[in-house]
Chain A
Amino acid sequence: MLMCFSASLMGVIVFLRKQSLLGEALSHAAYPGIIAGVMFAGSLSFDEQESWISFFILCGAFCTAWLGIKMIHWLQEKWRVPPDAALCFILSTFFGIGVTATSEVQFSFTPLYRRALSYLYGQAATMTDIHIVLYSCLAFFVLCVVIFFYKELQIMTFDQNYAKSIGIPVKKIDALFFILIILSVVIGARSVGVVLMSAMLIAPAVAARQCSHNLALFFVWSAIFGLFSGFFGNYFSVQFTEILSQISPHARIALPTGPMIVLVATTICILTLLLSPTRGLFIRFCRIAYFQYTSTCENILKSVGRIDPDRSFSLDQIKKTQQISSLYLRWILWHMKRKGWIEQDNSSFFLTQSGKARSAKIIRLHRLWELYLSTYLGVEADRVHRSAEEMEHILTPELEQELSLLLVNPTQDPHHQPIPPP
């Protein structure tokens, strides 16, 4: 859970720098180091000493991840390889070396082989106090760096040249940032696994981006989502393993934690993308539907009011003016009845007082806009109608006031029809 915390904080910076694939490259590049650490521990016969094994693995992972980053930069600077190609090349090459080495370990150090495999997809179930202490230290350190260097990180991510020009030690802070991200990825790989670690960097950051426009809150949300995913990922993997073992005890299924954590993180991500109040896809869809509904209501009121506000109208008469199905029309008329704009008398409808007032208002906005277009923008009289059809639903009371001030309380529109008073 704590390593997801540090990874999600680092993920914010990686996301804003548009280097999201960096996490992928780092975790894959760390894998041969892990195997090397395993082989080293095995050759020194440290089979049973958990802490030493972990230490060697961590060192090995850190070394190869750092080497991978250096090689990516080198390919870009000296060989002019495009950044995405360099990243992909190093990522897959290092990972390939690691996987090949794994098959070597399989026969020479069999008990450690399983340990090496567990780093592929993560296995948090076997954690000792040392691990918890280590993760807590890292998480605390990352948190301190983010808080103390907040404004430096902000300015360096936004405008690096400007940051250099005002004297911020960009190279040093960059180096610190890289060390922290390698540490977060390498340590997190134990819980989430090498293959999926990059998701823990990016998914909380993407989800948090939908929730806030403020960088500080961005960090906070990302950390919350990271913690959440870590906790529930672990919880669900344990629960489902138990349930599955009860259902079919012979299959010996053990759900690895890594994919479970990533699934939780992805679910959070999808939910925020759909439901975020400002940018959520689903929320916007609802708003669009609501806007179209109110526009249709107003159109109906307007078309009745234009002919004769006091006359009754039937369903078929309205259907001729609006291009909607009769089922939708019935539903809308029912809603308008509820709102108190119309009354029903068997199969014919009447506008109520408030309905008439509303209708007059729409017509007023429509004709004000037509007059504005033809007077001030020089649009011909036969072209203003189309634009007014759209604008009558959009103009706010403030804009209406400005328009009537500008046009000096007009009484007639370009088609010589009366403009209802406000």
Chain B
Amino acid sequence: MKTMPPNRLDPSSPLALAVHQLMVNFDTVTALWDITLSVPSGLLVAIVGPNGAGKSTFIKAALGLISPVLSGNFSFFETSLDNVRQRVAYMPQRESVDWDFPITVRDLVVMGRYGKLGLCRHPRKEDWEIVDDYLEKVGMTNYAHRQISQLSGGQQQRVFLARALAQEADLYFMDEPFTGIDMATEVVMIELLQQLRSKGKTVFVVHHDLNTVEKYFDWVILLNMRLIACGPISTYFTPSYLQATYGKNYALFDQALKLSQQKQTGYISP
């Protein structure tokens, strides 16, 4: 059952994330249009939307990883990202990485500590102890010295999660962590996320399985290029909002937007 962590709806605690009029364009395609939202801390937030809705783009824009035409701003804990980079962790999609790279599981997880170390420093004994601790939490201690190319999909995801956890941040972004994994891994992961929430951390998860959103998460961000809703599951995870997210009612809007984009970048004559 969901227990409320102490500072969840406390007005004096800073907002974990606030986005103001975010727009992201890639050449002829608008990925995100006029997103404005704010999320308090201490929640498990699901980012939900159809394919191509811009969910991964949203996270990458938040972390400053993309540099196309970008307007609008983000604030993390009411300040800019550069001031609180140590408090923000990222778990990318599994496909974004080449798993043939020559590295062991343990060395991959210790990468999570690099942010705290600074340039030209090597991991110390305390860092390795933290790494071993998180490897045990995800159940991968026996694989610590194995090459990552020898892992299954679920094991790779667990190792990625351990790396993000090793950053020991206050805010986590996770891009499709539950995609393509087995039941056992899913159980382990959701338990760890709930432990994070009970410590007052905020976790944003791009999630595809609509059946489990209510079970696992507290808040939801419904996204389909534009923001449909952002708020508690009980209020906004309803059939009418889902229909607006996944349905075809806004198809005309999307068409007009695409046409505008094409004309403005000179791909179609006016």
Contact = CB atoms under 8 A, between A and B. Distances in A.
Interface of A: 16, 18, 148-149, 151-152, 154-155, 157-159, 161-162, 164-169, 209, 212-215, 218
Contact of A164 (B65, B97, B98, B108): B65
A209 B102 contact: yes
Interface centre among A157, A161, A165, A213 (most CB of B within 10 A): A165
B147 interface: yes
Contact of B101 (A152, A158, A167): A158
10 contacts: A148-B120, A149-B120, A151-B122, A154-B103, A159-B111, A166-B85, A166-B115, A168-B114, A213-B147, A215-B102
Given A151-B114, A159-B111, A164-B65, 19 more contacts: A16-B101, A148-B120, A149-B119, A152-B114, A154-B103, A154-B111, A158-B97, A158-B108, A158-B111, A162-B111, A164-B63, A165-B63, A165-B90, A166-B90, A166-B167, A167-B115, A209-B102, A212-B102, A218-B102
Contact of B114 (A148, A157, A166, A213): A166
Interface string B69-109: 00000000000001001101010100011100111100010
Contact of B103 (A158, A166, A168): A158
Contacts of A157: 101
B137 interface: no
B64 interface: yes
Contacts of B88: 165
Contacts of A169: 119
Nearest to A16: B101
A87 to B, nearest CB: 20
Contact of A161 (B82, B96, B98): B96
A155 B98 contact: no
Interface in B48-72: 60, 63-65
A222 to B, nearest CB: 12
Contacts of A213: 102, 104, 147
A214 B102 contact: yes
Secondary structure dominating the interface of A? helix
Contacts of A159: 92, 96-97, 111
A162 B102 contact: no
A153 to B, nearest CB: 11
Contacts of B98: 18, 158
Contacts of A162: 90, 92, 111
A152 B119 contact: yes
Contacts of A215: 102-103
Interface string B182-210: 00000000000000000000000000000
Interface string B104-138: 10001001101101011011000000000000000
A212 B86 CA distance: 33
Contacts of A149: 119-120
A167 B102 contact: no
B7 to A, nearest CB: 25
A162 B98 CA distance: 13
Contacts of A165: 63-65, 88, 90
A164 B81 CA distance: 12
A166 B119 CA distance: 12
A294 to B, nearest CB: 25
Contacts of A212: 102
B113 to A, nearest CB: 9
B157 to A, nearest CB: 14
A169 B118 CA distance: 10
Contacts of A151: 111, 114, 117, 122-123
Contact of B111 (A155, A161, A167, A214): A155
Contacts of A218: 102
Nearest to B60: A161
A18 B101 CA distance: 11
Nearest to B96: A161
B120 A164 contact: no
A212 B104 CA distance: 12
A173 to B, nearest CB: 9
